[in-house]
Amino acid sequence: MVSGVDVGLRRAGLAPGDVMVLAAAVELLHCATLVHDDVIDDAAARRGVATVNAVEGSSTAILAGDVLIAAACGLATTNAGCATNWVRRPKCAYVRGSVWLRRR
């Protein structure tokens, strides 16, 4: 029997295995936003663990977050073409928001 999820995946041009890769891409993007957020907030710890910012400094933390974003985009773009815009739009919005916060 075909589920609604399977039909939705096919309509989006994705195979079931693509979902796991896209989920990993989303998780990498989420981690990147946390690393960058810790720089903006100058956070020493997150959930009781020292942040990259606290241990390595803000420059390294920013670069680490950027690497995570690049990895997320790389994963997402290895799948169906629709994934490229799916990841690009929120990433661009995140970058615009980060720039806005730094100007405040």
Q: Which amino acid is at 23?
A: A
Give 52-99 pLDDT, tens digit per residue.
999 999 989 999 998 899 888 888 776 554 555 555 556 666 666 665
Closest CA to 33 of 97, 100, 102: 97
- Give 31-70 as a DSSP string: HHHHHHHHHHHT-SEETTEE-HHHHH-HHHHHHHHHHHHH
Which domains are present in the chain? 13-103 (1.10.600.10)
Q: Write out the two tokens for 14.
A: 């994705």
Q: Write out the two tokens for 2.
A: 């075909």
Q: Give the Cα separation of 61 and 39 in Å (integer).
A: 7
Average pLDDT over every residue of 36-53: 96
Average pLDDT over every residue of 6-11: 67
What's residue 44's pLDDT? 96
Chain centroid to Cα 60, Å, comes to: 17
Q: Residues 36, 53: contact at Cβ < 8 Å?
A: no
Q: Which residue has the higher pLDDT, 85 or 28?
A: 28
Q: Which residue has the higher pLDDT, 42 or 103?
A: 42
Q: Which residue has the higher pLDDT, 2 or 59?
A: 59
